[in-house]
Amino acid sequence: MKHRYLVTGGAGFIGSNFVHFIDQTEPESLVLVFDKLTYAGNLDSLKGMGPQHQVVVGDICDEQLVAQALAQFKPDRLVHFAAESHVDRSIDGPKEFVKTNVLGTFTLLHQAKIYFEANKGDFRFLQVSTDEVYGSLGETGYFTEETPYQPNSPYSASKAGSDHLVRAWWHTYHFPVITTNCSNNYGPFQFPEKLIPVVILSALSGKPLPIYGDGQNIRDWLFVLDHCKGIHRALERGELGECYNIGGNNELTNLQVVHRICEILDLRRPKQKGSYKDQITFVKDRPGHDRRYAIDASKIKAKLGWQPEESFESGFLKTVDWYLEHEDWVKNILSGEYRLTRQGLGA
């Protein structure tokens, strides 16, 4: 047995990609997914994983269930993806974000510390965080691990709160944690409320592609599998108590992202007349919309030897093709409670 991974939020976008990555690369390891199955959790995304892995449906705020999962599964790796993750939803309803992201992370830390103190061994807790905790950049500069936290949305503020708890558990209790702060991910299994899947699916169904503001907000885009590999590298080789920024060196404006997806769709599924770009419209900006995020990932490259393998060109092609080839996955989601909470598109 190599490792026993307890993966919170393992039925979500990045979590499910991580579970498949472990399933494929570490056949001797075991995974326990711990997921509340909110609107963003989808067991379909775990189809095909080996039968040796298990799923517990539960809330990370549920102390008893968390304690039970730890005691029974006995993980040596806890990878914490579970979160409310959509900025627009956090603007409309911040309470759930504070509950899951702050209180839920506290509950996990508290119970995992009790578990660790009873069992010791080579246990590691990896906090999956975001570059959004650093706030917004001007036209130049990059977020490093030393950049002060300046979260601007209820989502990023709640993630920042959870990161601070994780840091405190290391400094106060020497509880073995590592934090990764990653830029915007894209790839298979992303819930169709985030920019890239929404653009693909709205374009194909002839709907408008409403872009927030002037479409010039810049994000650094990373293919989800590269993120999973970065998390794995940090878990295996990272120093306890350290933070590692993970980024794709792929700064693009929202408009460039939408244009590129339309160009790929024009090739893969040409319209009878015109381009998918004709469906683009501009709508009122999201409140407090951060202008630019850009990651300096030189620490993880220098210290742990990680760097992204996928280019923006190859990653976007793979992603569009995945959505075109997985109509059933998409249909099952769309027939559920999917709805856009705001009118515009942004990341």
Ligand X SMILES: NC(=O)c1ccc[n+]([C@@H]2O[C@H](COP(=O)([O-])OP(=O)(O)OC[C@H]3O[C@@H](n4cnc5c(N)ncnc54)[C@H](O)[C@@H]3O)[C@@H](O)[C@H]2O)c1
The binding site for ligand X (CB under 6 A) comprises 8-9, 11-15, 35-38, 40-41, 59-61, 81-85, 100, 104, 128, 130, 159, 182, 184-185, 191
- Set 155, 186, 276, 323: catalytic member: 155
Q: How far is the CB of 5 from ligand X (least distance, A)?
A: 15
Residue 90 phi/psi, 5-degree rounding, is -70, -25
Q: Is 5 a catalytic residue?
A: no
Specify the amino acid at residue 49: M
Q: Is 212 a catalytic residue?
A: no
Comparing every residue's Cβ against ligand X, the nearest one is 12
Please work out, in degrees rounded to the nearest 5, the angle formed at the alpha carbon of residue 321 by the alpha carbons of 279 and 15.
Answer: 105
- Beta strand 251-253 pairing with 218-223: antiparallel
- Set 131, 163, 220, 296: catalytic member: 131
Q: How far is the CB of 260 from ligand X (least distance, A)?
A: 17
Q: Is 236 a catalytic residue?
A: no
- Set 76, 84, 132, 193: catalytic member: 132
Beta bridge partners of 80: 8, 127
Which tokens belong to 318? 């793979």
Which tokens belong to 219? 């994000």
Q: How many CA atoms lie within 13 A of 6 on its CB side?
A: 28
15 touches 33 (CB < 8 A): yes
d(CA 73, CA 3): 11
d(CA 116, CA 124): 9
Q: How far is the CB of 111 from ligand X (least distance, A)?
A: 13
Q: How far is the CB of 64 from ligand X (least distance, A)?
A: 14
Considering beta carbons, is residue 100 or 217 the nearer one to ligand X? 100
Considering beta carbons, is residue 9 or 188 the nearer one to ligand X? 9
Considering beta carbons, is residue 85 or 202 the nearer one to ligand X? 85
Q: How far is the CB of 267 from ligand X (least distance, A)?
A: 25
Considering beta carbons, is residue 246 or 276 the nearer one to ligand X? 246
Which tokens belong to 174? 């020497």
Cβ count within 10 A of residue 45: 23
Considering beta carbons, is residue 123 or 293 the nearer one to ligand X? 293
Report, as residue numbers or ranges, the catalytic residues: 131-132, 155
